[in-house]
Chain A
Amino acid sequence: MRLKLATLALGAVMAAAPAMAEITMSALSYRTGPYAANGIPFADGYQDYFTLLNERDGGIGGEMINLVECETGYNTEKGVECYESTKGEGVLVYQPLSTGITYQLIPKATADGIPMHTMGYGRTSAKNGAVFPWVFNYPANYWDGASIAITHIANEEGGDLSGKKVALVYHNSAYGKEPIRTLESLAEKHGYELMLLPVDHPGQEQKSQWLQIRREKPDYVIMWGWGVMNQVAIQEAVNIRFPMDHFIGIWWSGSENDVLPAGDGADGYKALTFHNLGMEYPVYDDLKTHVVDKGLAAGAGDQLGTALYNRGMYAAMLAAEAVKTAQELSGDTAISPAQMRDGMENLEITEAKMAALGLPGFGPEFTVSCENHGGNGFGAVAQWDAAAKKWSLITDYYQSDLEILAPLIEEDSAAYAAEAGVEPACN
């Protein structure tokens, strides 16, 4: 796909001409700005996996993958520009890696008929595929995360949370506000007291929030942070000597760059995850042979094996598997966005599939259906070992509290359906 330049009186600008006959994927990445530290490893992992498929297997089902990258800077305006500039190229699925951009794109992508995959972020109630036919958020969403964190705390406390105080330190945006409703409902069920501490973008200034934590002494702190906010929060927690094993971050607050700046103080910090960590997987041997050694690694090529790199790779793997499913369903290797949507809706991730891909036990098994675009909501808790400088899972994958979540998702998606005039339907 080439972009042609046209010179106009105002200045030169561009027009796009579509080039089909290959599998086009988009990467709305951010390698600049206050969230770059976390955006880069994800983007590298996402890109490297597709490069691996191209180099090793010759694409998917014989079709080469064309990855169109566009820099958003985690900024919604640029994200919209990226979406508009790449959608004409026949992109099969969008993964914006930003809850803000996701909210912008849900109505646009639905109107244009292009599926979106918001893995572990975005609008939680998109799990209800009857209302959000084009949006997928498997294998887990924020409300699953909130519930998994509370279950973990309950397990630590011997099952009883009554009278406990839990603080939520969150990015003051759509992303950070997402778990509040679930945590409130869970507070009613378990009897803990919830404390809300918003942190404004980009999150470098958190002194007052942590002073409040120091004063009110919550038993546990849960964090919904991203980018530089994570590093600052963990450093502040170390500064006030908050017990790190009582500090639990969502999966976006659990990468190496978040804990490394705090040094040994960060030892014992916990974060949720919905996939495995580390690089003891056969796929890494292939990545080394076919991508790194050929000098094709994305970015600086120094992110392999980090938590977010693995997540980017996982996102790419799920997209590739959905393409395969779509190719099987349609019997055609060159698929359209609508066929991609069907592939995503019929996606089934089993242990056998993951082992065949060189990723045994990498994530939980799940299936997608029209009624359930969000997978089964399994997650685990990882803990940081500052001496060894690595994350390790300290629990098995376990399921979120669907008893609480199902009615909330039903309610929120029904509200969206009424607001947007969508007639919920599964065929």
Chain B
Amino acid sequence: MLYREAGDFKTSYAADNQTFPIKFDRWRYYAILVVAFGVVPFIINDYWVSAVFLPFLIYAIAAIGLNILTGYCGQVSLGTGGFMAVGAYACYKLMTAFPDVSIFFHIILAGGVTAGVGILFGLPSLRIKGFYLAVATLAAQFFLVWLFNRVPWFYNYSATGQISAPERTIFGIKITGAETEAWATYLFCLVFVVLLALLARNLTRGTVGRKWMAIRDMDIAAEIIGVNPLTAKLSAFAVSSFFIGIAGALFFSVYLGAVEVGEVFGINKSFLVLFMVIIGGLGSIFGSFAGAAFLVLLPVLLKNVFVGTLGWPTDLAAHLEFMIIGGLIIVFLIAEPHGLAQLWRVAKEKLRLWPFPH
């Protein structure tokens, strides 16, 4: 009923290969874009943007980045927090060194720097796999955080070791700093999310993505059919780090404004993004969004229900929140080991046949 394909004919290969081949999906996607660009900016306030939208959008970018590496190319990484820190510090150094260049380019460049660092730490993946690679990327996590704490050049010799984003504008509208408008920061991040999601979608369904998936499914077989593991794995590390670097740069400059590397980009962040990818669904762009939404929005929702509506003590609410989210993660993964994206896929299959299943 809802997912009727009757009458939805394709007359060209291009039409058959589009991202949303079902008309209903396509219209839903356009509707979300219209709402996100045309409605949300007018009704958003400081609370919504800093508690809900910015973290959701930025974590979605990071989750897409990690999904490219772990979900599409099969290389486990625990270095996400460290790579986000590279993005943040690169952005900070660029912002302070070239104040006249637009922040938009700084963030792209910060992604580029992170891609370089990612390739460097991706080199061990050519020799080691699985858990061993996870440990190698864990080393990257600890090394990078240590480096940014240890070398004062990275934080411009500030007394506290914190980096704080100076005020920067685009077309005269403040994007970073204390006096930003909610809609401006929201739109800025949204543009990045939309562009990067498009990029990720098109990379993963093209030659590059197919090579990654070949490596993921069986690297020896991939090599035999002519996939070069060196370029495939390193390109996955590069693209993934590019995304994660941009997420880190946005996290620092637009969302938080001031960052202390040990706390904000610690190992917890790596796990958080990895959980988003696992809960959302490995190898799915939609899964990255779903996972980010699950782990960003649910705690805020629970907190508001328990403390705001029910008036329970804050510590009780915080403990319950841990228990409920932990419990839900287990339930989800037992019910559907392939994550929320698979649940959605199954639901869609059912809806196509509804109300007349076989």
A residues near B, CB below 8 A?
Answer: 2-3, 5, 10-16, 29, 31-32, 36, 40, 69-71, 73, 75-77, 80-81, 84-85, 87-88, 100, 103-104, 107-108, 110-111, 123, 172-174, 177-178, 180-181, 198, 200-201, 299, 412, 419, 421
Contact = CB atoms under 8 A, between A and B. Distances in A.
23 contacts: A2-B308, A13-B52, A13-B297, A14-B301, A31-B315, A31-B318, A32-B318, A73-B318, A84-B51, A85-B51, A104-B256, A107-B164, A108-B178, A110-B178, A172-B262, A173-B263, A181-B159, A198-B149, A200-B262, A201-B266, A299-B313, A412-B159, A419-B164
Contacts of B159: 177-178, 180-181, 412
B269 to A, nearest CB: 10
Interface string B255-296: 011101011101000000000000000000000000001000
A288 to B, nearest CB: 22
Given A5-B304, A103-B160, A111 B260 contact: no
Contacts of B297: 10-11, 13
A172 B314 contact: no
B50 A5 contact: no
Interface string B102-116: 000000000000000
Contact of B260 (A173, A180, A421): A173
Contacts of B149: 172, 198
Given A11-B297, A200-B262, A201-B263, A3 B304 contact: yes
Q: Which of A31, A110, A412 has the most CB of B within 10 A?
A: A31
A172 B319 CA distance: 27
Interface of B: 46-48, 50-52, 55, 149, 159-162, 164, 166-167, 177-179, 256-258, 260, 262-264, 266, 293, 297-298, 300-301, 303-305, 307-309, 313-315, 317-319, 322
Q: Which of B257, B304, B314, B318 has the most CB of A within 10 A?
A: B314
Cβ-closest 6 pairs across A and B: A3-B308, A107-B178, A31-B315, A174-B160, A71-B314, A111-B178
Contacts of A412: 159
Contacts of B264: 76-77
Given A12-B301, A100-B260, A173-B260, A80 B50 contact: yes
Nearest to B145: A200
Contacts of B318: 31-32, 71, 73
Contacts of A110: 178
A88 B262 contact: no
A269 B316 CA distance: 34
The B contact surface, by secondary structure, is helix
A315 B318 CA distance: 24
Nearest to B146: A200
Given A13-B52, A32-B319, A84-B51, 4 more contacts: A16-B47, A70-B314, A71-B307, A71-B315
Contacts of B315: 31-32, 36, 40, 71, 299
A76 B179 contact: no
A415 to B, nearest CB: 9
A9 to B, nearest CB: 8
B29 to A, nearest CB: 13
Contact of A31 (B162, B300, B314): B314
Given A71-B318, A178-B160, A180-B159, A81 B50 contact: yes
A281 B55 CA distance: 47
A299 B160 CA distance: 33
A113 to B, nearest CB: 12
Contacts of A419: 164, 166
B167 A104 contact: no
A132 to B, nearest CB: 13
B262 A173 contact: yes
B309 A81 contact: no
B161 A80 contact: no
B293 A11 contact: yes
B178 to A, nearest CB: 3
Contacts of A31: 313-315, 318
Given A104-B256, A421-B167, A11 B162 contact: no
Contacts of A29: 314
Nearest to A298: B313
B319 to A, nearest CB: 6
Nearest to A98: B263
B46 A103 contact: no
A388 B179 CA distance: 53
B308 A14 contact: yes
B298 A11 contact: yes
Nearest to A86: B47
Nearest to A124: B159
Contacts of A172: 149, 262
Contact of A13 (B46, B48, B258): B48
Nearest to B304: A14
B256 A76 contact: yes
B69 to A, nearest CB: 24
Contacts of A32: 315, 318-319, 322
B283 to A, nearest CB: 23
Contacts of B308: 2-3, 14
Contact of B162 (A75, A103, A181, A198): A103
Given A10-B293, A84-B50, A181-B159, A174 B260 contact: yes
A129 to B, nearest CB: 18
A180 B55 CA distance: 33
A84 B50 CA distance: 7
A180 B161 CA distance: 11
Contacts of A174: 160-162, 260
B89 to A, nearest CB: 16
